[in-house]
Amino acid sequence: MALSETSLIERYFRSGGAQRPDVALGIGDDAAILSPPAGSDLIATTDTLVAGVHFLSGAPPAAIGHRALAVNLSDLAAMGARPAWALLALTLPEAREAWLAEFAAGLGALAREHRVALVGGDTTRGPLCVTVQLLGFAPPGRALRRGGARAGDVLFVSGSPGDAAAGLALEQQRLTVPAAARDYLRERFLLPSPRVALGERLRDYASACIDVSDGLLGDAGKLAQASAVAVEICFEELPISEELEAALGDEGARQLALSGGDDYELCFAVAPARVPELLAQLPPERWGYTRIGALLPGSGARVVRGGTVMEFSHSGYQHFS
Ligand code: ADP
Ligand code: MG
């Protein structure tokens, strides 16, 4: 295949990520040879981004490279795993060197930030599509899951959900916001920061964890369902960034925090007895997370406001007119 010409791969991907001693053989052979730490569980994930579906076709190539790895890092963060090795399957309509250089730079910078080595991949011709597979480690039996929460556990979320959805609306010109908020919201969409360090630390505290990629309410509902409990989120407790509030007002911002996607934050449950130590060891103002609700007996996901349950129509809330 013309596009998998060794020179292109050499130039753009060979030294893009971190260098790690546990990579016995990286890019260049038919497969990589990797040496996982003895006794660790290997945690594996993959995510595909299709042009026009998961990113806008005209998106900056560096942002596409960043996102392709970030969505996978976020999955490993939700498992409490430490990321180590990535593989990249790249389908490109043509080999445009400027595009490849920027894409590789975006992916490489985030990989180095998290000490991830790019150990292999595949390059083919076709409609633009990017798949990253990410491998990482957790101590045996200690990886976090969606399904460990119990009724009575406290629910937390990291970051300020809703920002990325507003950033996407800005990119699509469905929203206009004050200039001061614009760059922040755009960046929250274009360059998500997966909560890898927080995820790893949460292994010691969380009973269940999920990453918020499809909207906080829906994803908290998935955690609750996997744990066979109900989840209740308190509308007034949702953490809203100044910028989102400036863009949408308090009401709109809270609605978007519940339903907007692409946050790549962590939503996690902690048994009440463990909460004091969590707050002491991982100060919320430093680690950037907020208590937003609780897990309860029963099933389903609901939002409580001023003591009463809010109604949501299935057609969804109209954020941008
Ligand atoms: P093969 O025909 O054996 O699949 P390729 O030419 O596809 O060989 O790949 C050669 C080497 O380059 C392999 O080590 C492969 O893992 C690596 N590679 C190919 N494409 C990529 C890519 N997009 N990113 C990282 N490594 C890649
Ligand atoms: Mg190949």
Q: How many CB atoms lie within 10 A of CB 157?
A: 26
Give the mean pLDDT of 67-81.
98
Give the mean pLDDT of 295-318.
82
Cα 189 to middle of ligand 1, angstroms:
30
Quick one: which ligand is closest to 90's CA? Answer: 1
Distance from C-alpha of 156 to C-alpha of 134, rounded to nearest angstrom: 26
Q: Sign of torsion, CA 69 209 189 302?
A: positive
The per-residue pLDDT for 316 is 45
pLDDT at 315 over 50: no
pLDDT at 300 over 80: yes
Atom of ligand 1 nearest to the CA of 30: 3
Q: How confident is the model at residue 319 (pLDDT cuts 50, 70, 90)?
A: low
pLDDT at 314 over 60: no
The per-residue pLDDT for 4 is 61
pLDDT at 70 over 90: yes
Buried b (16+ CB within 10 A) or exposed e, 183-209: ebbbebbbbbbbbbebbbbbbebbbbb
Report whether residue 9 contacts ligand 1, using a CB cutoff of 6 Å: yes
36 exposure class (CB count in 10 Å sphere: 0-12, 13-18, 19+): middle
Report whether residue 13 contacts ligand 1, using a CB cutoff of 6 Å: yes
Give the mean pLDDT of 100-121.
97
Chain length of the chain: 321
Residues 6+ apart with CB under 8 A from 73: 83, 110, 114, 116, 134, 194, 196
Report whether residue 119 contacts ligand 1, using a CB cutoff of 6 Å: no
pLDDT at 242 over 70: yes
Give the mean pLDDT of 302-311.
93
**3-state SS class at 270:** strand
Report whether residue 34 contacts ligand 1, using a CB cutoff of 6 Å: no
Give the mean pLDDT of 85-112.
95
Choice among 137-151, 168-182, 242-256 with the minimum mean pLDDT: 168-182
CA atoms within 13 A on the CB side of 160: 17
Quick one: which ligand is closest to 92's CA? Answer: 1
Q: How confident is the model at residue 236 (pLDDT cuts 50, 70, 90)?
A: very high
Q: What percent of the chain has pLDDT over 90?
A: 88
Q: Nearest 5°: phi and psi at 23?
A: -100, 100
Scanning the structure block, which residue is given the tokens 């998500």?
A: 192
Quick one: which ligand is closest to 6's CA? Answer: 1
Distance from C-alpha of 78 to C-alpha of 219, rounded to nearest angstrom: 12
Residues within 5 A (CB) of ion ligand 2? 122
> Judging by DSSP bridges, how do beta strands 82-92 and 154-158 pair with one another?
unpaired
Q: Sign of torsion, CA 55 61 62 68?
A: positive
Distance from C-alpha of 23 to C-alpha of 33, rounded to nearest angstrom: 6
Report whether residue 121 contacts ligand 1, using a CB cutoff of 6 Å: yes
**3-state SS class at 222:** helix
Per the model's pLDDT, the better-predicted residue between 317 and 198 turns out to be 198
pLDDT at 274 over 60: yes
What is the rounded average pLDDT for all residues in the chain? 94
